[in-house]
Amino acid sequence: MDLQPSDFAQIKRAVEAALLASSEPVPVTDLRQLFDEDYGADVIRRVLEELKGDWSERGVELVNVASGWRFQVRPEFQQRVDRLNPQKPPRYSRAVLETLAIIAYKQPVTRGDIEEIRGVSVSSNILKVLEARGWIDVVGHRETPGRPALFSTTKSFLDDLGLRTLDELPPLEDLGTLVDSTDIEETADSVDEGAGQKADAEEEAAPVQELIDESESDATESSAADAEKEATAVQELIDESESETAESSVEASVQS
């Protein structure tokens, strides 16, 4: 569709306003509904790419995540913006992080699959924590006796981590340094309530990566550090992205 420069500029301003006003990512299909005219998806994508360039030198950036497009504070300015609304980002137990990592890297999986990989039973509360956060969901049932539920990650999980697809999850060999176990606070203490200190110790030492590899080949035993790597990767992504989606942060940056 051929557009006059003035028409394109109007479309651009309308899309920009809609994205700034939204607290959630907006897909291209929804942005097309802003107009009476039937502008194609290619036109909206051109507008979005131009807007992305317009904001490239500012403290706020336009990014494309799993659910659509959104404005967010650039990572290098996030700590400063957080001073306006200081909140401690949520931290999750290693049991929760390991379960999330297994689902993310091996989905779809059943509760039994997770238990086989981790080597310990998985409390239903762990899955409830992740479902309540909107990071996992039941996507079907395996056609085996009992028809166990199959779990996969959601678009919200990718949105919160600033990713578009699962292919953008970091491979284990590229993950950062390990964190000390004290860095992970037990905010979901009820998850392992009654399991006892011995079970907790076994869970923290579970060789997650080794067991994941075993499902595809006969891998040799890996160290407990592999499990920590995978849990650490998820926690680091969570920490980096928790505050990037805050609507107030974007508004504060724009107003300044």
User: Structural domains in the chain?
Assistant: 5-84 (1.10.10.10), 94-241 (1.10.10.10)
Burial class of residue 63, CB neighbours in 10 A (0-12, 13-18, 19+) = middle
Distance, in Å, from the CA atom of 59 to the CA atom of 11, rounded to the nearest integer, reads: 23
- Strand, helix or coil for residue 62: strand
How many Å apart are CA 70 and CA 61, to the nearest integer?
Answer: 8
Q: Are 100 and 136 in contact (CB under 8 A)?
A: yes
pTM of the model: 0.63
Query: Tens-digit pLDDT profile for the chain (256 aa)?
Result: 678 888 999 999 999 999 999 999 999 999 999 999 999 999 999 999 999 999 999 999 999 999 999 999 998 998 898 888 887 767 778 888 888 888 988 999 999 999 998 888 999 999 999 999 999 999 999 999 999 999 999 999 888 888 888 888 876 554 332 222 223 333 444 434 434 433 443 444 344 455 555 544 443 344 345 556 666 666 666 666 665 554 444 444 444 4
Candidates 54, 63, 58; CA nearest to 164 is 63
Angle among Cα 246, 243, 64 to the nearest 5 degrees reads: 70
